[in-house]
Structure 1
């Protein structure tokens, strides 16, 4: 399995040919050991310091003037914003000091997740996704392939050229208000199908042939072929993730056809204990639905949610019945 995807995501990746010797990470736990020279990017304190953002490890003294501040783990290979939180006052900070955490200025503005193809330290392709917040540090959905202020992309490009000059491969960077908050030595594994059929073969070429065969950003802008897609996330109680893991591919295909969406992906791998999965306060990420019609993706999410609830209650129902309910 040269593309190291999470088994429940296999339907997004399994049709792509990849040489056995070409290893492509889609998770930070794989990307970290594969990139000893560049693994420093997972140190969020260092990333903040390189940008001149007010920050420090817990137990250091923030300036009173910058409150509220934001707290998060310095290292977090599990993603999902584990234990991240805003801190309102100095007293709150000292009452919640956490080993292994950092504080930083609380950034405001649009939250983007950007995938970047990098060839010898030069960004050759970007795609930006804008997150729409849900309750309690969750995301309701992501808009994929959106345009951004040119300054955001220019800032990312300058950072890559300055600090990752010899890197070849995919990067993902999250930004808020034009500042980088996280860097990952991989692409976003949730929505490769929203980029187009060219995307995964181009990734294989990048890692195996050290060349980029996908479109350049200039080609995309000139032809206006970029189509905005949506990745709608289903957060719920973790017990429904266990139920979802029992669904056959045929049920997912039926839902995809029913609502004309591109894909429905379950996150939980039953071979891993549920306790190992990070989750924000707002719930467990059970699944996500990708498509090009937001309303249809949202309908599919609600039907899937309803279906999983009925199955958990041991009710023998079909998908058609779940739609009616």
Structure 2
């Protein structure tokens, strides 16, 4: 299997993808950091901000105006760990520690964009827009094509400038059309919605340096997470329950996204909730039904918004 997977719930996407054994495709930022030291600067959120001319700084740099958004300068665990809005100078002095950065707080759509890149040129792009809930959690994501041409061009220009020799996948998160972070990989939460031919194209990208996929149409999909309140790490639902949810109408996949043998604090999670699972598929009402069925499999756990 060419896709290096650390979380077992992702393996369902990659096990059946044929690939020569000498091709290695990273899924996790820890592997990206180890394999691509020449691109460490892409994970530096201060660099990302300043590359766009965005007001930003370190803990010793008092912002000229509030609110600002504070977060770790480098975060290889994801999930918004350690991030928060800071509204005044007193909170800034209390919260900001070495290793953190602040940047202008953006407003507008939160979009995660996957790009296939050949020598700095974007050859394929797919946007996913998140509907925020609270404190870093999302109600659901809508995965679509190239409806936002302006955003696609902005990202293509940034990639050409920042990664002129890079070939591979890159994921970029934006709010209101401005980049907040980037990773040298694709988003593994909803990659099953891209289709089997897409996985074959990724193998060709890393193995041959080319992007062979041609798409006539793009099917809209959705990724719907289930969040519970922090404080409890329950057992996984029985396998027969999981299989029944996977068989529900318009469901593409089900992921149970935590390790039941580990304590809650060992899981990188947003402040607003503990993510129990994700349902991906093609029809939003059907996926909401599947999420409710998944929530019912945790009868003693307090859920967030359903």
Q: Structure 2: where are the runs of 5+ without partners?
A: none
Instruction: Describe the superposition over 1:209-252 as per-residue Cα deviations: whole angstroms up to 9, x where unpaired.
Output: 2111112xxxx4xx4x11110000111146765412x632x432
**Alpha carbons of 1:275 and 1:91: their partners in 2 closer, same or farther (altered >3 Å)?**
closer
**Alpha carbons of 1:69 and 1:60: their partners in 2 closer, same or farther (altered >3 Å)?**
same
Could you tell me which residue of structure 2 aligns to residue 24 of structure 1? 25
TM-score (norm 2): 0.93
CA distance in 1 between counterparts of 2:263 and 2:90 reads: 36
1:189 has 2:181 as partner:
no
**Alpha carbons of 1:91 and 1:108: their partners in 2 closer, same or farther (altered >3 Å)?**
same
Secondary structure at the aligned position of 2:227 is classed as strand
Could you tell me which residue of structure 2 aligns to residue 39 of structure 1? 40
Secondary structure at the aligned position of 2:78 is classed as coil
Could you tell me which residue of structure 2 aligns to residue 4 of structure 1? 4
1:264 has 2:265 as partner:
no
The answer to whether the Cα contact below 8 Å between 2:69 and 2:105 also exists between their aligned partners in 1 is: yes
1:228 has 2:227 as partner:
no
CA distance in 2 between counterparts of 1:165 and 1:231 reads: 32
The answer to whether the Cα contact below 8 Å between 1:107 and 1:176 also exists between their aligned partners in 2 is: yes
The answer to whether the Cα contact below 8 Å between 1:31 and 1:185 also exists between their aligned partners in 2 is: yes
Matches within 5 A, 1:105-184: 105-184=104-183
Query: RMSD over aligned Cα, in angstroms?
Result: 1.9
TM-score (norm 1): 0.87
The answer to whether the Cα contact below 8 Å between 1:42 and 1:76 also exists between their aligned partners in 2 is: yes
Secondary structure at the aligned position of 1:205 is classed as helix
Deviation at 1:180, TM superposition (A): 0.7
The answer to whether the Cα contact below 8 Å between 2:254 and 2:278 also exists between their aligned partners in 1 is: yes
**Alpha carbons of 1:272 and 1:35: their partners in 2 closer, same or farther (altered >3 Å)?**
farther
Could you tell me which residue of structure 1 aligns to residue 58 of structure 2? 57
Secondary structure at the aligned position of 2:251 is classed as coil
The answer to whether the Cα contact below 8 Å between 2:70 and 2:96 also exists between their aligned partners in 1 is: no
Q: Structure 1: where are the runs of 5+ without partners?
A: 314-325
The answer to whether the Cα contact below 8 Å between 1:70 and 1:86 also exists between their aligned partners in 2 is: yes
**Alpha carbons of 1:251 and 1:14: their partners in 2 closer, same or farther (altered >3 Å)?**
farther
Q: Indicate which of 271, 276, 279 corresponds to 1:289.
A: 279
Secondary structure at the aligned position of 1:199 is classed as helix
Secondary structure at the aligned position of 1:113 is classed as strand
Larger helix percent? 1
Secondary structure at the aligned position of 2:21 is classed as coil
The answer to whether the Cα contact below 8 Å between 2:125 and 2:145 also exists between their aligned partners in 1 is: no
May I ask how many residue pairs the two structures share in their alignment? 301
The answer to whether the Cα contact below 8 Å between 1:194 and 1:229 also exists between their aligned partners in 2 is: yes
The answer to whether the Cα contact below 8 Å between 1:289 and 1:301 also exists between their aligned partners in 2 is: yes
CA distance in 2 between counterparts of 1:196 and 1:206 reads: 16
Could you tell me which residue of structure 2 aligns to residue 243 of structure 1? 235
CA distance in 1 between counterparts of 2:185 and 2:144 reads: 17
Deviation at 1:309, TM superposition (A): 2.1
Instruction: Describe the superposition over 1:128-160 as per-residue Cα deviations: whole angstroms up to 9, x where unpaired.
Output: 000000122201110001444322111100111
The answer to whether the Cα contact below 8 Å between 1:111 and 1:175 also exists between their aligned partners in 2 is: yes
Instruction: Describe the superposition over 1:274-307 as per-residue Cα deviations: whole angstroms up to 9, x where unpaired.
Output: 4332111211111100011101111111111111
Instruction: Describe the superposition over 1:247-282 as per-residue Cα deviations: whole angstroms up to 9, x where unpaired.
Output: 32x432221213431111111235765433211121
The answer to whether the Cα contact below 8 Å between 1:82 and 1:278 also exists between their aligned partners in 2 is: yes
CA distance in 2 between counterparts of 1:120 and 1:97 reads: 38
